[in-house]
Amino acid sequence: MTTIALAVERAAGDDLSIWPGSTTRLPHGHLAVGGVDLTEIAERFGTPAYVLDQGEVRERCRTYRSAFRDTEVLYAAKAFLSRAMVRWMEEEGLGLDVCSAGELELAVTAGFPADRIVLHGNAKSPHDLDAALRLGVGRIVIDSLSEIPRLAAAVGRNGSQKVMIRIVPGITAGGHTKIRTGTDDQKFGLSLTDGQAHQAIARVLGQPQLELTGLHCHIGSQISDVEPYIVAARRMVGLMAQVRDTHGVVLAELDMGGGHGIAYRPGEAALDVTALARGLRAELSESCAAAGLPVPHLIIEPGRAVAGPAGVALYRVLAVKRTGERTFIAVDGGMSDNPRPALYGVRYAPRLIGRHSTAEACTATVVGRHCEAGDILAADIELPGDIRPGDLLAVPVAGAYQLSMASGYNLVGRPPVVAVDEGRARLLVRRETLDDFRARDVGL
Ordered by start, the domain boundaries in the chain are 3-52+309-440, 54-307
Specify the 3-state DSSP secondary structure of 311.
strand
Contacts of 293 (CB under 8 A, 6+ apart): 237, 240, 241, 244, 250
Is the predicted pLDDT of residue 337 greater than 80, yes or no? yes
Separation of alpha carbons 18 and 34, rounded Å:
15
Q: Would you identify the CATH topology of the domain 54-307? A: TIM Barrel (3.20.20)
383 strand-pairing partners: 362
Element (DSSP H or E) covering residue 393:
strand 392-396
One-letter amino acid at 206 equals: G
Per-residue confidence (pLDDT) for residue 14, from 0 to 100: 79
Using an 8 Å Cβ cutoff, are 373 and 337 in contact?
A: no
9 vs 419: which has the higher pLDDT: 419
Using an 8 Å Cβ cutoff, are 199 and 145 in contact?
A: yes
Is the predicted pLDDT of residue 444 greater than 90, yes or no? no
Q: Tell me: cis bond preceding 48? Omega within 30 of 0 counts.
A: yes
Residue 271's φ and ψ, nearest 5 degrees, are -70, 135
**Tens digits of residue pLDDT in 234-288:** 999 999 999 999 999 999 999 999 999 999 999 999 999 999 999 999 999 999 9
What mean pLDDT do residues 87-110 have? 98
Catalytic residues: 371
Is the predicted pLDDT of residue 185 greater than 80, yes or no? no
**Tens digits of residue pLDDT in 192-222:** 888 899 999 999 999 999 999 999 999 888 9
93 vs 2: which has the higher pLDDT: 93
pTM: 0.93
**Tens digits of residue pLDDT in 28-65:** 999 999 999 999 999 999 999 999 999 999 999 999 99
- Is the alpha carbon torsion for 397, 398, 399, 402 positive or negative? positive
Is the predicted pLDDT of residue 177 greater than 80, yes or no? no
Average pLDDT, the chain: 93
Is the predicted pLDDT of residue 180 greater than 60, yes or no? no
The single-letter DSSP state of residue 262 is -
- Nearest Cα to 378, choosing from 414, 331, 421, 417? 331
Per-residue confidence (pLDDT) for residue 12, from 0 to 100: 45
CA separation (Å) from 89 to 54, 93, 256, 338?
A: 11, 6, 19, 24
429 strand-pairing partners: 417
Q: Would you identify the CATH topology of the domain 3-52+309-440? A: Lyase, Ornithine Decarboxylase; Chain A, domain 1 (2.40.37)
- Nearest Cα to 53, choosing from 255, 306, 331? 306
Concatenate the DSSP letters of all residues of 61-129 into one string.
HHHHHHHSTTSEEEEETTS---HHHHHHHHHTT-EEEE-SHHHHHHHHHTT--GGGEEE--SS--HHHH
pLDDT class for 325, splitting at 50, 70, 90? confident
Per-residue confidence (pLDDT) for residue 6, from 0 to 100: 38
Is the predicted pLDDT of residue 3 greater than 50, yes or no? no
Per-residue confidence (pLDDT) for residue 183, from 0 to 100: 55
Per-residue confidence (pLDDT) for residue 170, from 0 to 100: 78
